[in-house]
Amino acid sequence: MDYLPIFADLKRRPCLVVGGNEIAWRKTRMLLKAGADVKVIAPELSAEFQHAIAENQIDYLGETFQPEDLDGSFWLSPPRSGRRSMP
């Protein structure tokens, strides 16, 4: 099985996204559509992330992940480069 379908009520749930690239933005858009409270950590942010932060749609926690950033998070979206590391 390549994918695990998960259905979760994310309304007003704190969700952490690590990464600021296009892949992370696609995940963030889905979380926002589900009503999640999104926080992002990334050394570099795409224009979409910058706009969402400026519009107070998401919170920016900084450039570097710290273990305490997970405190209170319901969901974590780890970084992904877009390249598959496994066959």
Q: Residues 1, 22, 49, 37: what is their CA dihedral angle, to the nearest 10 degrees?
A: -10
Domains and CATH numbers, the chain: 14-65 (3.40.50.720)
Is residue 30 over pLDDT 60?
yes
Q: Residue 77: in which H helix or E strand, if any?
A: strand 75-77
Sequence-distant (≥ 6) Cβ neighbours of residue 39 within 8 angstroms:
14, 15, 16, 17, 58, 59, 60, 61, 69, 73
Whole-structure pTM value: 0.83
pLDDT digits (tens, 9 = 90+) for 45-72: 999 999 999 999 999 999 999 999 999 9
Rounded to whole angstroms, how far apart are CA atoms 33 and 81? 23
